[in-house]
Amino acid sequence: MVFKEILNGLNSKKIERKEKFKEIDESIRMQKIIEERQKSSNQRELERYIKEEQEKRIKQELEEWRKVRQQEDNYGHNPLSIPNITNKSSWEVLKEKNMFRGGNIFANQKRIY
């Protein structure tokens, strides 16, 4: 039963928190409505146009930043500079003597027919 009490306690805290958020949100909305009603229609219209322009600028800047990020993701890394078997490796395969160059490596082996 202790486990259920703990869960109920957590659930009640969660419910209280949601109620507080609703109250605060509602009070903020009411304040905005009152402020809007106190403004003249011309002022509200002007603020709406200013806000639309601001949103356009934000959208343009966001698109530019997304392009930069996409460019970095697509071309920012150079796979040729990553250490691999052909470069920047402690075991340099391409610089060793070719062990298969001498001809048939099975020439001195016993043959089974």
Letter for the amino acid at 3? F
- Per the CB < 8 A criterion, the answer to whether 6 and 12 are in contact is no
| pTM summary value | 0.49
For residue 83, the SS3 value is: coil
> Can you give the three-state secondary structure of 98-111, one letter per residue?
CCCCCCCCCCCCCC
Tally of residues, the chain = 113
- Average pLDDT (15-28) is 95
Tokens of 55: 């949103």
Q: What one-character-per-residue DSSP string does 23-64 give? A: HHHHHHHHHHHHHHHHS-HHHHHHHHHHHHHHHHHHHHHHHH
pLDDT in tens, 50-104: 999 999 999 999 999 999 999 888 887 766 666 665 566 666 666 677 777 777 7
pLDDT in tens, 73-85: 888 776 666 666 5
